Amino acid sequence: MVVQLDVQLCCFGDRGSGSSAGCGSRPCGPGPGPGPEAPLMWMSKKGHTCLLASSMASVVLLMMLLYGSFSSQQQLQPGSGPPQDYQLLGRPLYKLDLGWPRSPELFSGDVFGVAVDQQAGTVYVAQRGDNVPKVLVFTTDGDFLMSWNTSTLEMPHGIFVAGAAASSPTVWITDVGTGPYGHCIKQYSPSGKLLQVLGTRGKAGSGLDPLQFDQPAEIFVHESGDMYIVDGDGGMNNRLIKLSRDREVLWMHGERGQGLGQFYIPHSVTVDGARRVWVADRGNKRIQVFNSETGEWLGTWGSCFTEDAPYSVRLTPDRKYFVVVQLNTNQISLLDAPPPSQVGQCRVVSVIQLADDVKPHLVDLDLRTGALYVAQIGAQQAQKFTPFSLGGSFL
């Protein structure tokens, strides 16, 4: 429980500004009242941070002094990207990396997906638009490396880096386009060379032999080589499919509906270390959980998503939190991960509240550092958030 005291702390200017404007010259409030849902701090719209005194005040203040403010809205030069503005609610776990990427003006389309190769230290960003490169590649430090100007991608949606741990990374991209390369899942080399295609190019369908998709949303490739695919970003299919490394269908859930194991727009999928598959069932505003070996339904999380549906789901490398993106409320939420033998009920412990109309879509994490990267359709950019602690790990 957060306790709001009568004492207010100073408002700090943006990191690196050297300014303490507003300190003592005006009240930091009004902020939200006390209670379990009250934020620990309130970020103003003028680039200053107002921190409410609480039982964590000394710890959070120390972090602020070391790292700068939790929230920032910078007045950037034209062409250097949109303003940065966000608010932290609950436990402060992440902060925005204002220096990533170093060339935000390279974002030139609607950014739909992002994927991290933690071994190579590279980040792949998928974007859409006429006459724009479909994939931009950055380092995790923010340097631009290359772009893919390939005609084999029409409308990229989900993106995933497989094989990074074995030093043989490839990039998988789901394509929801309707042209000659649409309705497929494609494997590329790190430089953008097309290696293979799953599905029937340019033809939507529900077949399993040959394999067909209709607007496949995302793919997750396990280190074993097994693949988990959510197929149906508004198309005819509402399926979760598991394929072996030899592309054999091992099991599938494929009915549209609201029942157990049924879907309406399955949008994102991830697998944890306890043989559980977590699916963002977007149209039903819930996350469903399955046994990765048998496909057995294990449970559902729904109580955390009454206001908006989950669009993306990933697990932090320490396996303590699930990161869930909600597009319409412009939120990135961290939920407690349950023990291996349980599913239980969802519990939100931290929220990154983004600015209006940012529209976060899909997220990925650097399994080495814990940094998260989020693709934002509305803001037409990708952003990086880093764990808010001295050592780069979670509090």
pLDDT the model gives residue 7: 30
β-strand partners of 140: none
Helix, strand or coil for residue 372?
strand
Domain termination site, one of 18, 39, 73: 73
Task: Count the neighbouring beta carbons within 10 Å of the beta carbon of residue 48.
Answer: 24
Q: How far apart are the first and last CA of the chain?
A: 17
Are both 68 and 196 inside the same structural domain? no
Is 392 contained in some domain?
no
- 130's CB contacts (< 8 A; 6+ apart) are none
pLDDT the model gives residue 35: 37
Are both 149 and 246 inside the same structural domain? yes
Are both 202 and 327 inside the same structural domain? yes
| H helices present in the chain, as ranges | 57-67
Is 135 contained in some domain?
yes
Is 198 contained in some domain?
yes
Mean pLDDT value across the chain: 83
The CATH code of the domain that includes 263 is 2.120.10.30
Are both 298 and 152 inside the same structural domain? yes
Is 85 contained in some domain?
no
Beta 86-90 vs 348-354: how paired, if at all?
antiparallel
Helix, strand or coil for residue 314?
strand
pLDDT digits (tens, 9 = 90+) for 89-134: 999 999 999 999 999 999 999 999 999 999 999 999 999 999 999 9
pLDDT digits (tens, 9 = 90+) for 265-319: 999 999 999 999 999 999 999 999 999 999 999 999 999 999 999 999 999 999 9
Alpha carbon distances (Å) from 74 to 245, 379, 384:
47, 14, 16
Domain that includes residue 379, residue range: 94-387
Are both 106 and 160 inside the same structural domain? yes
Question: What total of structural domains would you count in the chain?
Answer: 2
Alpha carbon distances (Å) from 327 to 110, 112, 318, 374:
14, 11, 25, 11
- Identify which of 373, 353, 391 has the alpha carbon closest to the alpha carbon of residue 111: 373
Domain termination site, one of 12, 43, 73: 73
Q: Which helix (H) or strand (E) holds 113?
A: strand 110-117
CA–CA gap between residue 310 and residue 278 (Å, rounded): 11
Is 81 contained in some domain?
no
Total number of residues shown for the chain: 395
Are both 288 and 380 inside the same structural domain? yes
Are both 150 and 296 inside the same structural domain? yes
Is 270 contained in some domain?
yes
Are both 43 and 129 inside the same structural domain? no
Is 321 contained in some domain?
yes
Q: Is the dihedral of CA 27, 31, 33, 35 positive or negative?
A: negative
Look-up of token digits 């990086």: 384
pLDDT truncated to tens, each residue of the chain (395 aa)?
Answer: 332 333 333 333 333 333 333 333 333 333 333 333 333 333 333 233 333 333 444 444 444 434 433 443 333 333 344 557 899 999 999 999 999 999 999 999 999 999 999 999 999 999 999 999 999 999 999 999 999 989 999 999 999 999 877 778 999 999 999 999 999 999 999 999 999 999 999 999 999 999 999 999 999 999 999 999 999 999 999 999 999 999 999 999 999 999 999 999 999 999 999 999 999 999 999 999 999 999 999 999 999 999 999 999 999 999 999 999 999 999 999 999 999 999 999 999 999 999 999 999 999 999 999 999 999 999 999 999 999 863 344 44
Are both 99 and 59 inside the same structural domain? no
Are both 66 and 100 inside the same structural domain? no
Is 82 contained in some domain?
no
Are both 151 and 288 inside the same structural domain? yes
CA–CA gap between residue 161 and residue 221 (Å, rounded): 8
pLDDT the model gives residue 82: 53
Are both 54 and 171 inside the same structural domain? no
pLDDT the model gives residue 345: 95
